[in-house]
Structure 1
Amino acid sequence: MPADLAVETAHLLVVDDDARLRALLQRFLAEQGFRVTGAPDSAAARQALSAMAFDLVVLDVMMPGETGLQLVESLRREGNDVPVLMLTARGGPDDRVAGFEGGADDYLAKPFDPRELALRIRTILRRAAPPPATALPQAPVQLGMRWFDAERSELRGPEGTIRLTGGEAALLAALARRAGDVLSREEIAAALGTPEAGERAVDVQVTRLRRKIEPDPREPRFLHTVRHRGYVLRPGP
């Protein structure tokens, strides 16, 4: 299936305790061509995720009981790497960083234009979609005992496949495409489709990725910080 068609027919899970907003989002996103399922809280979201496969979750942060942030953190611990776009009435830098630290792929502050929500959803889905068949394949990149296959967004090692979130896979793919070149935080944010996220959010994603590719994240061998410039990936055995 062509990537654009796969994006437009994606199945979304919208989780928000505000019944009116949830209904509005479901109707708008359905009009955009998506298949949409709604859930009023984290418990209902868990049930839906266990019963069906979703391409992306639109998740409110502040909900009674288990919050959206707690839910996405739990999903990541369980190895569920479904892309997550978080919605919140608190859109400050610290709140965005907390969302990215928890494993979210993007973050949108309320109130928002529904058209921007749809645009961000499509950006995340395209980022996660397989590349077109006509694209030149990129050779896997060696990171010590592990190999990253950008074509499959897959990181493998002696222990098997290491799960990456959509944001982590996109970050590693962007760095791998320009291995040996220093990428500024602005370039990385643009590659992730989140140019407004800010430098701290990029730093958070880098920290999360280092935990998965570095033998010792405190002494990086592959993903290096270049002071005042950005980050560079230096693959090797």
Structure 2
Amino acid sequence: MTAPNDTHLLIVDDDERIRGLLQKFLIRNGFLVSAARDAAHARRLLAGLEFDLVVLDVMMPGEDGVSLTRSLRQVISTPILLLTARGETSDRISGLEAGADDYLAKPFEPKELLLRINAILRRVPLSAPQDARPKVLHLGPIRYDVERNEMWRGEELIRLTSTEAQLMRIFSACPREALSRIKLVEDLGRDRGQAQERAVDVQITRLRRKIEDDPKQPRYLQTVRGEGYMLAPD
């Protein structure tokens, strides 16, 4: 898949060789690409430019990729793909909990990175189908604008990651219907497997923190035993 020529990526990696190789590879595949050597450099670029996706190495000196992800999620919703050493489960879960949209274990094939990037970018611009569904769903004090894919608490916009936003699109298309983890993985455009199902569990946990008064006793994003998860608006 060739990227649109205005799709701008930010690569953040302290290894100059890897950074350069990734930049050249992604440029050859049609992306605009900027590169940062560390978290501080990335912050300066993000302050002055808009990016469609950030590819971020976890293991960096100073502020690591997970900490940077957690911090960025306070101010932006740009998709983040983490590069994790050897795919340690703890690194993956920490990254997803911090707000990353996906992860890729090192070492990896550049083509797989390209596929992951394109899969995330395909998810981001999707809009909800136009039908007879309500335009706004109410979850207690939270309101979710289905058409704009925005979540609000009063006048405060609740920032959603691209994966959280996609989950809300999926759930809002069939409220009060239980969706299996396998279906959620498929609708998110990811490969099947227990690791991806666990990743969905992590994203559901994060989403509940933004929706529920008590995330441990969810009222609106419920677990249906033996079936999956269900959105139950007021």
Query: If the length of structure 1 is used for normalisation, what is the TM-score?
Result: 0.89
Contact 1:174 1:191 in 2 (8 A): yes
- Unmatched tracts of structure 1, length 5 or more: none
Where does residue 16 of structure 1 map in the other structure?
A: 13
Q: Which residue does 2:130 correspond to in 1?
A: 136
Matches within 5 A, 1:69-88: 69-76=66-73, 78-88=74-84
Corresponding residue SS for 1:168: helix
Q: Which amino acid aligns with 1:71?
A: L
Find the counterpart in structure 1 of residue 199 from structure 2: 201
**CA 179–87 in structure 1, closer or farther in 2 if over 3 Å, else same:** same
Residue 51 (structure 1) aligned with residue 48 (structure 2): yes
How far apart, in 1, do the equivalents of 2:57 and 2:2 lie? 27
Q: How far does residue 5 in structure 1 lie from its aligned partner after superposition?
A: 9.4
Distance between the aligned counterparts of 1:181 and 1:79, measured in 2? Answer: 32
Percent of pairs with identical residues: 52
User: Any idea what the Cα deviations from partners look like across 1:170-212, whole Å, max 9, x if unmatched?
Assistant: 1111111121211111111222233354332211111110111
Which consecutive residues of structure 2, in runs of 5 or more, have no partner in the other structure? none
SS of the equivalent of 1:198 reads helix
Alpha-carbon RMSD: 2.1
Helix, strand or coil at the partner of 1:33: coil
Q: Which of 27, 32, 52 is equivalent to 1:30?
A: 27
Aligned pair partner of 2:106 in 101, 106, 110: 110
1:152 Cα deviation from its structure 2 partner: 2.2
Letter in 2 for 1:32: N
- Distance in structure 1 (CA, Å) of the matches to 2:45 and 2:197: 34
The aligned counterpart of 2:143 is 147
CA distance in 2, matches of 1:209, 1:216: 12
Structure 1 residues 8 and 117, CA gap change in structure 2 (3 angstroms) = farther
1:130 touches 1:152 (CA, 8 Å); kept in 2? no
Asked if 1:119 is matched to 2:115, the reply is: yes
Report the secondary structure of 2:121's partner residue.
helix
Change in Cα spacing, 1:16 to 1:199, as seen in structure 2 (3 Å) is same
